[in-house]
């Protein structure tokens, strides 16, 4: 499924910018590390395309379905102290989530 038309909406640019600002505000050293990594990577591999212009995020996951979840995790194979933004869109019942914790 090609999600490029969806991601070209300005709504997603705003979400990415907001998530990056949060990272930059609360963990500026990690933000700088992510940015430096992306800048070096794309200078060395210019054929690679960023998910969003000037994004520090290396990847993007989209879960579509009636029951999408994200379990707490550590990315030990990549950046174990890294952060990843998680955004839930759509109708959901937060009480179900609270009752399971």
Mean pLDDT score of the chain, rounded to an integer? 82
Predicted local distance difference test score (pLDDT) of residue 97: 60
Give me the residue spans of the domains in the chain.
10-58
In degrees, rounded to 5, the angle at the alpha carbon of residue 51 between the alpha carbons of residues 45 and 52 is 110
60 close to 16: Cβ distance less than 8 angstroms: no
**Higher confidence at residue 49 or residue 90?**
49
CB-based burial, 24-39: b 16+ in 10 Å, e otherwise:
eeeeeebbeebbeebe
Of residues 65, 60, 62, the one with CA closest to residue 50: 60
Instruction: Report the alpha-carbon distance of residue 2 to residue 23 in Å, rounded.
Output: 28
**Higher confidence at residue 52 or residue 31?**
31
pLDDT digits (tens, 9 = 90+) for 70-84: 777 666 666 778 888
Predicted local distance difference test score (pLDDT) of residue 100: 56
């Amino acid at each position: 499924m090609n999600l490029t038309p969806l991601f070209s909406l300005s709504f997603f640019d705003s979400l990415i910018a907001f998530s990056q600002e949060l990272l930059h505000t609360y963990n500026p050293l990690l933000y700088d590390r992510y940015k430096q990594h992306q800048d070096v990577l794309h200078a060395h591999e210019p054929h690679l395309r960023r998910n969003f212009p000037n994004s520090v995020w290396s990847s993007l996951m989209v879960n579509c379905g009636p029951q999408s979840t994200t379990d707490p995790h550590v990315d030990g194979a990549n950046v174990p102290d890294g952060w990843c933004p998680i955004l839930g869109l759509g109708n959901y019942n937060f009480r179900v989530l609270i009752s399971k914790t």
